[in-house]
């Protein structure tokens, strides 16, 4: 029998966290290539430190982008400026940008590209997980959902000029109490946020408190002695000045906050032929539709692939004892309602578009689907198809 009464914690980091700066830059590169050619190939890693940004990786796309480092540098600086870095030691205009992107391996390309009777293959081997549960309206685990919302609220206030004492770099952590398997309130909340040197600890604490109380449901606020804001007492030095950043180091923040398994592959900097990204989106899409259809209160889906092979090697479904249908039948139904080849996923979700920079902070899941195709994997448009496939 699974544990029903427990505490569970998840964390989030803001767009100004050094690793998230890197994710944003890498995804800006992806968007730049896809805007020029929807079939472009990108695997871009970014490193940031004091006054320095380094891009490295493999690309295949039109010369107007692939052979134009000045254009890519413009995208790097625009991303940093949008995040809000104009501080000493890391400034969008003054930081040095080094670009080391080269052509994609021909060995990889021949496995991925469609040719003759061969369909488009997976860009790598690997396992990908998707998850959904009915703890929140967006069908996400509550601890990670609230952690994201706190930082989004603070970032919005900062960018609108309502919180000028705050800097771009911040982290949140929310611990919730579960009773009979359902979240009922927060037992502790931790927020560390960069601030100007003139701001007092009390001033920062009270500003943050307003945003936390706005985000949490009424009556869910933790005890005051379990509300931690900048526990070290000072957070003026932040961003890449305070800590080196790398693409892909916040994979649990990006997904389900530790409430579900993770296959290990990061998302940012990768075009949609990379199943690390596209199949993880597909697995979330399917799991969300299972829960939205009332077929389970919780659903975990695993997909697996081999490099160069189009079909998934396995489709695993676990409804954690909350399902209303047989899991083996559900696995077959999922294959029926969606083509889970890399090409099928890319076309079904419309992934060959410049929609990725916006995913780089505050989670890839639990977001609102947008009219331009952004966050298409958050749609719940398979509900009727699933029920039909299951004979319901």
Annotated binding residues for K(+), written as ranges, equal 45
Residues pairing with 132 in the sheet: 299
DSSP letter string over 209-231? Answer: HHHHHHHSPTT-PPPGGGEEEST
Identify whether the C-beta of residue 198 lies closer than 8 Å to the C-beta of residue 18: no
Q: Which residues are annotated as a binding site for L-methionine?
A: 58, 104, 243, 274
Provide the residue count of the chain: 392
Return the structure tokens found at 85: 């870095």
Return the structure tokens found at 8: 């569970």
Residue 373: burial class (beta carbons within 10 Å; 0-12, 13-18, 19+): middle
Identify whether the C-beta of residue 298 lies closer than 8 Å to the C-beta of residue 113: no
Listed in order, strand segments (DSSP E) in the chain are 6-13, 41-49, 52-60, 86-87, 90-91, 96-103, 126-133, 166-179, 182-195, 227-229, 245-246, 298-305, 314-318
Q: Which residues are annotated as a binding site for Mg(2+)?
A: 19
Return the structure tokens found at 147: 């952690």
Q: Report the C-alpha gap between 167 and 161 in whole angstroms.
A: 11
Q: Report the C-alpha gap between 136 and 215 in whole angstroms.
A: 12
Give one word for 92, left, alpha or beta, with left for phi > 0 and alpha for psi -120 to 50: alpha
Q: Which residues are annotated as a binding site?
A: 17, 19, 45, 58, 104, 169-171, 234-235, 243, 249-250, 266, 270, 274
Q: Which residues are annotated as a binding site for ATP?
A: 17, 169-171, 234-235, 243, 249-250, 266, 270
């Amino acid at each position: 029998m699974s544990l029903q009464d427990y505490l569970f914690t998840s964390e989030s980091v803001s767009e100004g966290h050094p690793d998230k700066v890197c994710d944003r830059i890498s995804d800006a590169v992806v968007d730049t290539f896809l805007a020029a050619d929807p079939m472009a190939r990108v695997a871009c890693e970014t490193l940031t430190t004091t006054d320095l940004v380094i891009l490295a990786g493999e690309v295949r796309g039109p010369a107007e982008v692939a052979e134009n480092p000045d254009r890519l540098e413009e995208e790097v600086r625009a991303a940093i400026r949008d995040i809000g870095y104009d501080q000493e030691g890391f400034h969008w205009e003054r930081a040095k940008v080094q670009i080391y992107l080269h052509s994609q391996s021909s060995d990889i390309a021949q496995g991925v590209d469609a040719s003759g009777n061969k369909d488009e293959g997976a860009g790598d081997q690997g396992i990908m997980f998707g998850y959904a549960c009915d703890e929140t309206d967006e069908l996400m685990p509550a601890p990670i959902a609230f952690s994201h919302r706190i930082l989004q609220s603070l970032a919005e206030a900062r960018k609108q000029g309502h919180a000028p004492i705050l800097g771009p770099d911040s982290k949140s952590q929310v611990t919730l109490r579960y009773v009979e398997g359902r979240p009922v309130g927060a037992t502790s909340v931790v927020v560390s946020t960069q601030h100007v040197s003139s701001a007092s600890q009390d001033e920062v604490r009270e500003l943050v408190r307003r945003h936390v109380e706005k985000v949490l449901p009424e009556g869910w606020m933790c005890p005051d002695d379990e509300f931690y804001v900048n526990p070290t007492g000072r957070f003026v030095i932040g961003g890449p000045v305070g800590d080196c950043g790398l693409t892909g180091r916040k994979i649990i923040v990006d997904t389900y906050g530790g409430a579900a398994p993770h296959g290990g592959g990061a998302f940012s900097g990768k075009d949609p032929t990379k199943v690390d990204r596209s199949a993880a989106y597909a697995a979330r899409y399917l799991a969300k539709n299972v829960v939205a259809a009332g077929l389970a209160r919780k659903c975990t889906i695993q997909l697996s692939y081999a490099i160069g092979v189009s079909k998934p090697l396995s489709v695993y479904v676990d409804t954690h004892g909350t399902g209303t249908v047989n899991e083996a039948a559900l696995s077959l139904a999922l294959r029926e309602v969606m083509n889970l080849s890399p090409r099928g996923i890319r076309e079904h979700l419309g992934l060959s578009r410049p929609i990725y920079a916006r995913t780089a902070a505050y989670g890839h899941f639990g977001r609102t689907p947008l009219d331009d195709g952004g966050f298409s994997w958050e749609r719940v448009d398979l509900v009727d198809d699933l029920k039909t496939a299951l004979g319901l």
